[in-house]
């Protein structure tokens, strides 16, 4: 999820002060901007560095050769976007509404000039001292994969990771921060289970292409390709799960450590893929994929925005990774089957109330709840549906099951099945090789994505409502893992117990029992309809 916008750090370009350095990548030469914090720390910002050429509905390929010196340009490039209408309904009174009003062309904003199908770009933010010493030593690398439900978001939404970099510096380390774009919505995740004409999961292919680019080129910036940590939230965290479990035995992840924050995964059945494809055709006013490929970009972007904008049921995004039964399958299942690398260290976390953002306010009865569950999981059998509605999340609002009304019931169902249980699955799998760490962010309201203001806290900024002390503790926890593989030099014994995870709260930081129901998570992982 995009979550809360933090704004850009207070970095001051050093105009007329120095000649900005360049990096020769072979196919192009890219010039940085030299920037400084108010405390005098100097950084090089390589913005809008093209890592791939995005061919419409085809896998990425290397960028074209252009030996003229490139710089950031006028815009921070973004991929075509969409946002479900239900997302804007969050926190608003529903009044007499019984559903989210439909989105029409008249409701869509003008296409932003920074948005383009040619969007496979990344940003690299590196301390000037690291760049200058790149021949002598190499620094750890963070690769940030943004969230946004696989339909929205962009590389620079949370800035250049300055807070994490400064925290690392205070701990005696240097890190390089890389953030990437990848194709979204119908551009990155259109699928057709009945034809090989449509290449699925292009957004994930873009991500892997970017990881390959970093492995090949990061040494030119002072980075160590053997100490790479991928870090992502929501769809970004879910993407990491797909990279950890995809491919065959010869396929290796292109990173040594991973931080999955609120990892969001979905399993889109074939019937839903077909109906979405037909809706895309209808919105684009075409009847075939061949016609769709030939449309002007504005027509495709409009169709994408309409399909995503009208995403139903409430709490869903329409597009996302799909199983191809060869390279990619559903990560929770694969983790349970032991299909993952044993030489990657993983940190996974969740927020206490993940599902609140996605919970429909229109569910008022047990019947409404059952209908919603059936819509969320189209392949669910009557028997499995009864287990969900009667045993796992019954209509008991005494608080015994963690909710007090129908909306809370929906929030618990969505939050655990699609997000919170994923961190449990990751922790259980990688704990077998003693390389996993789990945490819970419980600062009220602890809904999806609010922790990102802590993850990307920047001491040069003032963020309302943020506890600076806790933000620094969290960042140190992340940075220690990124640079050493251990969040703490000495973990307390009770932290290692199976049901204990690190809890981040304003009143207390330390080991505590996970708020997620492991019983319910175990059931979701084994559910055959997924």
**Encoded tokens for 41:** 């720390």
Distances (CA, A) of 333 to 322, 480, 510, 527: 13, 30, 30, 9
Catalytic status, residue 288: no
Q: Cβ(452)–Cβ(158) under 8 Å?
A: yes
The residues, ordered by sequence, that sit 6+ positions from 395 with a Cβ below 8 Å of its Cβ are 366, 369, 389, 406, 409
Between 34 and 435, name the one with better pLDDT: 34
Pick from 175, 96, 190: nearest CA to 143: 175
Pick from 89, 99, 120: nearest CA to 357: 89
Q: Cβ(431)–Cβ(491) under 8 Å?
A: no
Q: Please give the Cα distance from 435 to 427 (Å, whole number).
A: 9
For residues 350-374, give the mean pLDDT.
Answer: 97
Q: Is the pLDDT of residue 499 over 80?
A: no
For residues 247-269, give the mean pLDDT.
Answer: 89
Q: Cβ(47)–Cβ(33) under 8 Å?
A: yes
Pick from 150, 148, 185: nearest CA to 279: 185
Give residue 276's pLDDT band: very low, low, confident or very high (50, 70, 90): very high
Torsion sign over Cα 94, 98, 99, 103: negative
Q: Is the pLDDT of residue 285 over 80?
A: yes
Q: E strands, 51-108, where? A: 66-70
Q: Cβ(16)–Cβ(54) under 8 Å?
A: no
Pick from 116, 327, 81, 123: nearest CA to 210: 123
Helix (H) or strand (E) holding 525: helix 518-526
For residues 261-281, give the mean pLDDT.
Answer: 96
Q: Cβ(482)–Cβ(347) under 8 Å?
A: no
Q: Is the pLDDT of residue 4 over 50?
A: no
Q: Cβ(257)–Cβ(228) under 8 Å?
A: yes
How does DSSP classify residue 102? P
For residues 40-56, give the mean pLDDT.
Answer: 93
Q: Which residue in 128, 166, 354, 440 is the catalytic one?
A: 354
pLDDT more than 90, % of the chain: 79
**Encoded tokens for 425:** 């699955």
pLDDT at 311: 96
pLDDT at 132: 95
What is the tens place of the pLDDT at every residue in 305-341?
999 999 999 999 999 999 987 778 999 999 999 999 9
What angle is formed at CA 73 by the lines to CA 211 and CA 50, rounded to 5 degrees? 20
Q: Is the pLDDT of residue 7 over 70?
A: no
For residues 37-47, give the mean pLDDT.
Answer: 88
CATH for 73-119+134-523 is 3.40.50.1820
pLDDT at 9: 44
Q: Please give the Cα distance from 388 to 223 (Å, whole number).
A: 48
Q: Which residue in 140, 152, 234, 436 is the catalytic one?
A: 234
Q: So where are the chain's domains?
A: 73-119+134-523
Between 13 and 488, name the one with better pLDDT: 488
For residues 236-243, give the mean pLDDT.
Answer: 98
Q: Is the pLDDT of residue 6 over 60?
A: no
pLDDT at 498: 59
Distances (CA, A) of 30 to 66, 67, 121: 10, 9, 12
Q: Please give the Cα distance from 44 to 278 (Å, whole number).
A: 46
pLDDT at 221: 98
For residues 159-182, give the mean pLDDT.
Answer: 95
The dihedrals phi and psi of 377, each to the nearest 5 degrees, come to -125, 80
Q: Is the pLDDT of residue 520 over 90?
A: yes
**Encoded tokens for 67:** 């030996």
Distances (CA, A) of 522 to 264, 421, 435, 526: 17, 8, 21, 7
What is the tens place of the pLDDT at every residue in 439-493?
999 999 999 999 999 999 998 887 788 999 999 999 999 999 999 999 986 555 4
pLDDT more than 70, % of the chain: 92
Q: Is the pLDDT of residue 184 over 70?
A: yes
**Encoded tokens for 454:** 């802590």
Look at strands 175-180 and 121-127 and give their pairing: antiparallel
Q: Is the pLDDT of residue 73 over 80?
A: no
Q: Please give the Cα distance from 363 to 345 (Å, whole number).
A: 40
pLDDT at 463: 78
The residues, ordered by sequence, that sit 6+ positions from 179 with a Cβ below 8 Å of its Cβ are 122, 123, 143, 144, 146, 155, 156, 160, 161
Q: Is the pLDDT of residue 5 over 80?
A: no
pLDDT at 11: 53
Cis check: omega of the bond before 387, within 30 degrees of 0: no
Q: Highest mean pLDDT range out of 67-81, 121-135, 422-436?
A: 121-135
Q: Please give the Cα distance from 186 to 322 (Å, whole number).
A: 13
Distances (CA, A) of 86 to 94, 285, 417: 11, 25, 19
Place of tokens 């002072």: 222
421-430 and 235-245 are packed helices; what angle lies between their axes, rounded to 10 degrees? 30
What angle is formed at CA 391 by the lines to CA 388 and CA 392, rounded to 5 degrees? 55
What do you get for the CA distance between the two ends of the chain, in Å?
22
For residues 164-171, give the mean pLDDT.
Answer: 94
* pTM of model > 0.75: yes
Instruction: Encode 2-28: b = buried (16+ Cβ within 10 Å), e = exposed.
Output: bbbebebbbbeeeeeeeebeebebeeb
Q: Please give the Cα distance from 151 to 188 (Å, whole number).
A: 9
Tell me how long the chain is.
530
Give residue 379's pLDDT band: very low, low, confident or very high (50, 70, 90): confident
Catalytic status, residue 234: yes
How does DSSP classify residue 218? G
Q: Is the pLDDT of residue 62 over 60?
A: yes
For residues 208-232, give the mean pLDDT.
Answer: 98
Q: Please give the Cα distance from 257 to 98 (Å, whole number).
A: 45
**Encoded tokens for 47:** 């913005």
What angle is formed at CA 380 by the lines to CA 379 and CA 384, rounded to 5 degrees? 160
């Amino acid at each position: 999820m995009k979550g809360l916008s933090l704004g850009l750090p207070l970095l001051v370009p050093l105009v007329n002060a120095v000649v900005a350095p360049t990096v020769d990548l072979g196919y192009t030469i890219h010039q940085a901007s030299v920037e400084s914090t108010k405390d005098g720390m100097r950084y090089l910002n390589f913005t809008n560095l093209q890592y791939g050429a995005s061919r419409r509905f085809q896998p990425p390929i290397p960028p074209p050769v252009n030996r003229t010196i490139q710089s950031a340009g006028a815009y921070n490039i973004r991929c075509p976007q969409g946002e479900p209408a239900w997302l804007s309904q969050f926190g608003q009174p529903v009044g007499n509404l019984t559903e989210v009003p439909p989105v029409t062309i008249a409701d869509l904003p003008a296409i932003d000039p920074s948005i383009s199908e040619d969007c496979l770009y990344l940003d690299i933010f590196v301390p000037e001292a690291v760049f200058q010493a790149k021949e002598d030593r190499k620094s750890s690398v963070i690769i940030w994969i943004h969230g946004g439900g696989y339909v929205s978001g962009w590389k620079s939404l949370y800035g250049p990771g300055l807070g994490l970099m400064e925290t690392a510096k205070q701990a005696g380390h240097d890190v390089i921060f890389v953030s990437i774009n990848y194709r979204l919505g119908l551009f990155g995740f259109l699928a057709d289970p009945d034809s090989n004409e449509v290449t699925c999961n292009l957004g994930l292919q873009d991500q892997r292409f970017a990881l390959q680019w970093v492995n090949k080129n990061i040494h030119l910036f002072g980075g160590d390709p053997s100490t790479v940590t991928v870090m992502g939230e929501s769809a970004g965290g879910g993407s990491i799960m797909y990279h950890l479990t995809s491919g065959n035995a010869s396929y290796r992840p292109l990173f040594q450590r991973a931080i999955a924050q609120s990892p969001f995964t979905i399993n889109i059945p074939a019937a839903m893929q077909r109906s979405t494809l037909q809706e895309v055709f209808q919105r684009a006013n075409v009847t075939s994929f061949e016609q769709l490929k030939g449309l002007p970009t504005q027509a495709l972007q409009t169709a994408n925005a309409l399909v995503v904008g009208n995403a139903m049921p409430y709490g869903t995004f329409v597009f996302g990774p799909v199983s191809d039964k060869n390279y990619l399958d559903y990560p929770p299942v694969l983790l349970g089957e032991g299909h993952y690398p044993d030489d990657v260290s993983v940190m996974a976390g969740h927020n206490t109330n993940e599902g609140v953002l996605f919970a429909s306010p229109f569910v008022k009865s047990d019947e409404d709840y059952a209908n919603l569950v059936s819509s969320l999981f189209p392949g669910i059998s009557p028997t499995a549906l009864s287990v969900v509605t009667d045993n796992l999340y019954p209509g008991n609002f005494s608080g015994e099951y963690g909710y007090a009304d129908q909306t809370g019931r929906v929030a618990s169902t969505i939050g655990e099945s699609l997000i919170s249980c994923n961190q449990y699955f990751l922790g259980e799998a990688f704990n077998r090789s003693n390389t996993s760490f789990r945490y819970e962010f419980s600062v009220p309201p602890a809904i999806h994505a609010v922790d990102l203001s802590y993850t990307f806290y920047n001491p040069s900024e003032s963020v309302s409502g943020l506890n600076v002390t806790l933000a620094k503790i969290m960042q140190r926890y992340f940075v220690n893992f990124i640079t050493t593989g251990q969040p703490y030099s000495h973990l307390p014994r009770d932290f290692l117990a199976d049901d204990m995870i690190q809890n981040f709260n304003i009143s207390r930081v330390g080991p505590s029992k996970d708020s997620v129901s492991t019983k319910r998570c175990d059931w979701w992982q084994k559910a055959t309809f997924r």
